[in-house]
Amino acid sequence: MRAELISARDIATAILPLRLEHAGVAVDGKPLLADLTLGIEPGRRLIVMGANGAGKSLFLRLCHGLIEPTSGRRIWADGTLRPDAQAMVFQRPVLLRRSVSANIDYPLKLRGLARAERHAIVARTLDRFGLSPLADRPARLLSGGEQQRLALARAWAMRPEVLFLDEPTSALDPSATRIIEEMIEIFAADGITIVMTTHSIGQARRLAEDVAFLNRGRLIEHGPAAPFFAGPQTPEARAFLAGDLIW
């Protein structure tokens, strides 16, 4: 599987690194994200942290291309405006009112893949994430944890180079959270770059290779995870980490 993913990618130009250059998003003149400059490197797990309202979700939407920067630039390595080889999993994923298999099939159909190829990818995806027993179940009737598993599986089937995850486990119980984290490890093992927001510091410690810390729409820390957790450079990040420890 992994070899297949890589060979598929060799044909297309790699889309990473993704670079933001002084990117900002303002709504009605009010800056919600400002002056973001960073590179998202291939093969890393980047965890985006920050308090509520710091702009974490907006940052993911900006990277993913759901919103456009109102200042600065977003540059994909392949030079396109919005490359296909990316996917996003939302905090509350929207599943279509059809079966589990049909939900995985839908984005593949949008990409114009032939029926036989789609069929093979869907079967492989269901198998890979233990969803085969649920294949014909209506997606909307799954439990919250199962729905999020399906959302991740659907994203995986799209063979992204980079996957954006917006607090994917915040609505889930601990065991469902563990399953999702295991799935994220599988993604990473397949060479898929992860950019994920979370408000759980424990989860960030478990998953992060790199950390980006946002405060009031600005990127105030960005670098490898270990030094960040050992000794954050800014008072805001120190307060954020300490706040969690008190609880």
State which residue, 98 or 238, has the beta carbon closest to other proteins.
98
State which residue, 44 or 61, has the beta carbon closest to other proteins.
61
Least distance CB 68 / other proteins (angstroms): 12
Distance CA 21, CA 19 (A): 6
Least distance CB 95 / other proteins (angstroms): 8
Q: Is 106 helix (H, G, I), strand (E, B) or coil?
A: helix
Least distance CB 65 / other proteins (angstroms): 8
- In which residue are the tokens 């929207």 written? 94
Using CA atoms of 103, 108, 113, 114 in order, give the dihedral in degrees to the nearest 10.
-10
Least distance CB 238 / other proteins (angstroms): 34
Nearest to 42, CA basis, from 184, 191, 183, 206: 191
Q: Which helix (H) or strand (E) covers residue 196, if one does? A: strand 193-197
State which residue, 94 or 239, has the beta carbon closest to other proteins.
94
Provide the 8-state DSSP code for 81. S
Give the footprint of other proteins on this chain (CB under 8 A).
Answer: 61, 64, 66, 84, 87-88, 90, 93-94, 96-98, 106-107, 110-111, 138-141, 154, 158
Least distance CB 49 / other proteins (angstroms): 22
Q: Which helix (H) or strand (E) covers residue 188, if one does? A: helix 174-189
Q: Which helix (H) or strand (E) covers residue 120, if one does? A: helix 115-128
State which residue, 45 or 61, has the beta carbon closest to other proteins.
61
State which residue, 73 or 97, has the beta carbon closest to other proteins.
97
